[in-house]
Amino acid sequence: MRILVTGGAGFLGSNLCERLVKDPGNYVYCLDNLQTGRIENIRELMEFPNFEFIQHDIVEPIELTVDQIYNAACPASPPAYQADPVHTMKTSVFGMLNMLELARKHNATVLQFSTSEVYGDAQVHPQPEAYWGNVNPDGIRSCYDEGKRAAETLCFDYHRQYGVKIKVIRIFNTYGPKMDPNDGRVISNFVNQALRGEDLTVYGDGKQTRSFCYVDDLIEGIYRMMNSSDDVTGPVNLGNPGEFTMLELAEEVLRQTGSRSKLVHKELPKDDPKQRRPDITKAKQLLDWEPKVALREGLANTIEYYRGLMERA
């Protein structure tokens, strides 16, 4: 298999590359513009003869002969995608078009990393794939939310109009090693603040909920989706249905780190969803997949990773 992973130096992309490159039957192209991806995430993979890094922005076309395309390119944390919202939208739309054209030319399968953000501030809970969402089309998060929705539309239109083989997954909150410590999402924030002895920033009253999937579980689901039969196009939710409030998460981080940090409440960001939990019925039925790693175990691995980063720094 000749496999292209866009956004391959990012959090999810680098973990996926690590999984794929260990199969000697694969040749893995890791493509990233390094806007949010980090060379450190893939440094060890560069020793593999079947791994190749290409610095490139998928907003611009690229020519490679490939069998599979995992399209993970796009900043995923609010601070990152809001820093350059126009480029975020271009990445989702122009980048998706370029990857679909590449797949069409080489009869490749393209798997789009979509997101639970397509559901917006959901009024249905938990969120099944049939739910159309409640998204603000012109807010500060819209560049990401609507960009990902448009990318899904392009996938299904290319499938219907040109017969391109597509897979669409909707990824819920994921965490684990290789996530940028300055990512700006809640687990990386809490863990690094606790390790530095800083106050933990809780937005709103802390009673809003999220479900957290450990990265190894997610990568397994992604791999199964790509290698499922061609008629499994999705969208398919991938995430952990275990639901926690932000206060519960903060307490567990403090317990595991042994930190004496205090909680400081700040105003809830605009359009921040109140609750988020996936319905993974389709993933169970179509992929025989569900997460295995409990939050307590995954947090321990994540804390160890960030501790190691701090020690090396």
How many whole angstroms separate alpha carbon 285 and alpha carbon 290?
10
What is the DSSP code (8-state) at residue 72? Answer: -
CB contact at 8 A, 268 and 156 = no
In 3D space, the residue among 99, 110, 228 whose CA is nearest the CA of residue 165 turns out to be 110
Assess contact for 295 and 165: CB atoms under 8 A.
no
Other Cβ atoms less than 10 A from the Cβ of 46: the count is 12
Strands 263-266 and 200-203: parallel
Which residue from 150, 149, 156, 147 is spatially nearest to 133, judged by alpha carbons? Answer: 149
Name which of 144, 148, 124 is nearest 134 in CA terms. Answer: 124
- Determine the Cα–Cα distance for residues 73 and 106; give it in Å rounded to an integer: 20
Read off φ and ψ for residue 21, nearest 5 degrees.
-70, -20
**Residue 29 phi, psi (nearest 5):** -95, 120
Residue ranges in 77-214 assigned as alpha helix (H):
78-83, 85-106, 142-162, 186-195
Of 239, 213, 186, the C-alpha closest to 295 is: 213
How many residues can be counted in the chain? Answer: 313
Tokens 């989702």 belong to which residue? 92
Indicate the DSSP class of residue 269: P
Q: Amino acid letter at 172?
A: F
List active site positions. 144
